[in-house]
């Protein structure tokens, strides 16, 4: 399962590209996500497609909080000096608006609980007939 859920702030305004075919509209942005320790952060590149891209472009800007869920995608490219680089982008399926610190905590908890519910069954106890050996 390839599901990533993050909560953070936009590093800069989204880069919105409008196409003739509305389903090809896209918004690229980077989210700064605080680590659970120290004063460090990870910077995660994200892309959202279609009508949701227009919503992100209209309502989100540098510094705005956002909670997202989507699929991680890896890629690579070679720069003009011949150095190979790897990339990592989250292809956003869902996002939530986050406002005050209280709203931010609630949104993050909601997304984490949703991800946990998908990944873990209600009970972790195995029944004897469930064990394959």
Asked if 50 and 22 touch (Cβ cutoff 8 Å), the reply is yes
Residue bearing the bigger pLDDT, 109 or 65: 65
Cβ-based burial of 29 (10 A; exposed 0-12, middle 13-18, buried ≥19): buried
The tens digit of pLDDT for each residue in 79-98 reads 999 999 999 999 999 999 98
CA angle, residues 45, 60, 25, in degrees to nearest 5: 65
Class of 1-74 in CATH: mainly beta
Task: Output the pTM of the full model.
Answer: 0.69
Query: Which residues, listed in sequence order, are joined to residue 4 by a DSSP beta bridge?
Result: 70
pLDDT, position 76? 95
Task: State the chain's maximal CA–CA distance in angstroms.
Answer: 59
Return the domain boundaries, the chain. Answer: 1-74
Write the DSSP assignment of 4-52 as a string of letters: EEEEEEESS--EEE--SSGGG-EEEEEEEEE-SSTT-EEEEEEEEETHH
């Amino acid at each position: 399962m390839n599901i990533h859920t993050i909560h953070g702030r936009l590093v800069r305004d989204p880069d919105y590209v409008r196409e003739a075919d509305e389903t090809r509209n896209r918004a690229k942005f980077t989210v700064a996500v605080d680590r659970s320790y120290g004063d460090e952060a990870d910077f995660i590149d994200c892309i959202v497609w279609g009508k949701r891209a227009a919503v992100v472009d209209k309502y989100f800007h540098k510094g705005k909080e956002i909670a997202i869920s989507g699929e991680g995608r890896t890629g690579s490219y070679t720069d003009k000096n011949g150095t190979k680089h790897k990339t990592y982008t989250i292809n956003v399926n869902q996002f939530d608006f986050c406002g005050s610190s209280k709203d931010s905590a609630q949104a993050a908890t909601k997304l984490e609980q949703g991800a946990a519910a998908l990944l873990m069954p209600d009970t972790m106890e195995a029944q004897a007939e469930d064990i394959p050996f």
